Structure formats: C-alpha cells, structure tokens
C-alpha cells in the first residue's frame, strides 16, 4: 500500500561487505535512508565511504547482504534478474561519472537504447516514431538538438553527460540516481549539469539522489545525508553553516 507519506525510496538496515582474499571490508553497516517523492537529496562522504556502493544497491545493480529496499512501498531487493532488469528499464534512471555511453552509437541512438531494449522487435516498429520524438525532445531540451548524429567521441564531456541524462530519463523513471555526475567535468561545465538536474527537479518534480564528495555540489540539493563508518548521518543542516553553528 502506498499513500502520500510513503517514501519513494525506503532503505533499511542495508549491509554490504566485500571480501577480497581473507580480508573482509564492511562498507555499509546498516544504512537507513528515505527519499520522498519530488525530493532532491545529496549523499556525501569521503572517498571509499561507500557512496557508490549504496547507489548501486538502490539502482539494483548489486545485491546487499541484508536489509531492505522499497520503491513506492514495494520490496525491490531480492527480485529475480528479469524483474530487476525490468525495473531498471522503467522506474530507475542512472547517471555515472564516466557517462557509460555506447561508443558505436550516436547521441540519438544512445538515448533510444533503453526503449529498444524494452520493446521487442515488432513492437519497436510500432513505437519507434514516438520513441524518437521523445528522445529528440530530451536532447533538444538539453541543448543537443544539433548533435543527434554525433558519436560520443565527437562530443565534449558536458555533452556526453547530457546525453547520458537524456538516456536515463527517456524511460520516464520514478527516480534518478547520479554517481558523481560532474566528477569528470571542469567547474563551469559541472555547474551546467547541476543546473540541469536542479531544473528537472524543480520543473518536472523529478526525484533525485546525487552522490558527490564535493560539498559545493552537494549544497545544490534540498537535503544532504552523510555516509561515514558505514552508516548514514542525517545532516539536514549541512547545507547551512548558520544552522550548523546553532545546532552546536
Ligand atoms: P565511494 O563511492 O564512497 O568512494 P565505494 O562505494 O566505491 O566508495 O567503495 C567503498 C569501499 O569498498 C572502498 O574501500 C572500495 O575499495 C571497496 N569496494 C568497492 N567495490 C568493491 C568490490 N567490488 N570489491 C571489493 N571492494 C570494493
Ligand atoms: Mg564512488
């Protein structure tokens, strides 16, 4: 059951330990995290604190050792590979630091790829015109209307990241998970990408989790949570030094 108070994402007691040889590395030691619908949250923490691990678990790219993840009130951890892939193709959009575009496909084809995966060949013939229109619409909106036929190697970093964001959104996901999306970009280009994310949140009500080690980047979100020692510290005042001082 969902109602207005059900978080879009609800993570409870998430634990993840990596094993390499005899060594155990407890990266997440019981993480609790909620994302409300329409909320824009940054997850910060030192390098190695488990930010990417947490984001990958929420994006169903990897499985936790224990704990639960609910999307819209429904458990999504522990699904079969097929149902997990289906959810990742419909409900969850992901963006990575290094874009992960397919080098042989042009910008438009990269954005269309998730929709081609979703529909079978025959169905694709029926829906492709509409799919192209929405992919083009997104690329236009991100200022890439003149780059539809460019391959990734013919695009700048900022352009590649905007293609990647368009690809993440073409499926109309419930949530966008972004892992250091400005990490490979110079400051000006990075702020352009952040501006795009803020605009998607404000204008479209897109729910966003943004992972970053950069405090200035994190401050663009509505709320900041900090990962440290494998757990989440809610730091609602972290964006506001005055509030932090008041809180002592
Ligand atoms: P962050 O994104 O905060 O920098 P990560 O989640 O990538 O941190 O990694 C957390 C810790 O887990 C790091 O010490 C990293 O080396 C380790 N780690 C990440 N992925 C693996 C893996 N697949 N196998 C073993 N150790 C890993
Ligand atoms: Mg990381």
Burial class (CB in 10 A: 0-12, 13-18, 19+), 69: buried
- pLDDT tens for residues 141-183? 999 999 999 999 999 999 999 999 999 999 999 999 999 999 9
Same domain, 73 and 116: no
The pick from 20, 44, 50, 218 for probing ligand 1's pocket by mutation, whose C-beta has the most ligand atoms within 8 angstroms, reads: 50
- pLDDT tens for residues 36-54? 999 999 999 999 999 999 9
116 or 244, which is more confident: 116
**Greatest CA separation for the chain:** 62
**Residue 87 domain flag:** no
Same domain, 205 and 218: yes
Same domain, 62 and 179: yes
Domain that holds residue 131: 101-172
In this predicted structure, the answer to whether residue 242 has a pLDDT above a threshold of 70 is no
Residue whose CA lies nearest to ligand 1 atom number 6: 50
**Residue 247 domain flag:** yes
Find all residues with CB under 8 Å of 115, minimum gap 6, and list them. 124, 127, 131, 135, 170, 171
Same domain, 69 and 185: yes
- With bands split at pLDDT 50, 70 and 90, how would you rate the model's confidence at 234? low
* Mean pLDDT estimate for the chain: 93
242 or 73, which is more confident: 73
| Closest ligand relative to 230 C-alpha | 1
Q: What is the chain's length?
A: 248
Question: Does 50 sit in the ligand 1 pocket, CB within 6 Å?
Answer: yes
Same domain, 180 and 168: no
3-state secondary structure the chain: CCCCCCCCEEEEEEEEEEEECCEEEEEEEEEEEEECCCCEEEEECCCCCCHHHHHHHHCCCCCCCEEEEEECCEECCCCCHHHHHHHHCCCEEEECCCCCCCCCCCHHHHHHHHHHHHCCHHHHHHHHHHHHHHHHHHHHHCCCHHHCCCCHHHCCHHHHHHHHHHHHHCCCCCEEEEECCCCCCCHHHHHHHHHHHHHHHHHHCCEEEEECCCHHHHCCCCEEEEEECCEEEECCCCCCHHHHHHHC
Identify the domain boundary among 153, 172, 191: 172
Number of domains in the chain: 2
- With bands split at pLDDT 50, 70 and 90, how would you rate the model's confidence at 89? very high
Identify the domain boundary among 172, 187, 219: 172
pTM: 0.92
Residue 1: its pLDDT value, please? 54
Atom of ligand 1 nearest to the CA of 50: 6
Identify the domain boundary among 130, 155, 172: 172
Same domain, 32 and 67: yes
Same domain, 241 and 193: yes
**Residue 189 domain flag:** yes
Same domain, 178 and 75: yes
Same domain, 9 and 118: no
Residue 233: its pLDDT value, please? 84
- pLDDT tens for residues 117-140? 999 888 999 999 999 999 999 999
Share of the chain above pLDDT 70, in %: 92
**Residue 112 domain flag:** yes
Same domain, 212 and 246: yes
């Amino acid at each position: 059951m969902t109602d207005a108070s059900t978080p879009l994402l609800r993570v409870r007691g998430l634990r993840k330990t990596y094993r390499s040889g005899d060594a155990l590395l407890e990266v997440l030691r019981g993480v609790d995290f909620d994302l409300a619908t329409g909320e824009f949250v940054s997850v910060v923490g030192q390098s190695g604190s488990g930010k990417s691990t947490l984001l990958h678990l929420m994006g169903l790219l990897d499985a936790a050792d224990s704990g639960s993840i609910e999307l819209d009130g429904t458990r999504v951890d522990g699904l079969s590979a097929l149902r997990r892939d289906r959810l990742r193709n419909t409900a969850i959009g992901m963006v990575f630091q290094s874009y992960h575009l397919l080098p042989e496909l042009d910008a438009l084809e990269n954005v269309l790829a998730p929709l081609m995966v979703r529909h079978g060949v025959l169905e694709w013939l029926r829906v492709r015109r509409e799919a192209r229109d929405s992919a083009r619409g997104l690329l236009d909106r991100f200022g890439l209307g003149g780059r539809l036929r460019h391959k990734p190697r013919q695009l700048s970093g900022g352009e590649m990241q905007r293609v990647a964001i368009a690809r993440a959104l073409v499926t109309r996901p419930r949530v966008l998970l972004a892992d250091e999306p400005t990490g490979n970009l110079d400051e000006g280009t990075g702020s352009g990408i952040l501006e795009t994310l803020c605009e998607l949140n404000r204008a479209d009500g897109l729910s966003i989790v943004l992972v970053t080690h950069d405090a200035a980047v994190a401050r663009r979100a509505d709320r900041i949570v900090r990962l440290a020692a494998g757990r989440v510290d809610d730091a609602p005042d972290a964006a506001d030094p005055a509030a932090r001082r008041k809180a002592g």
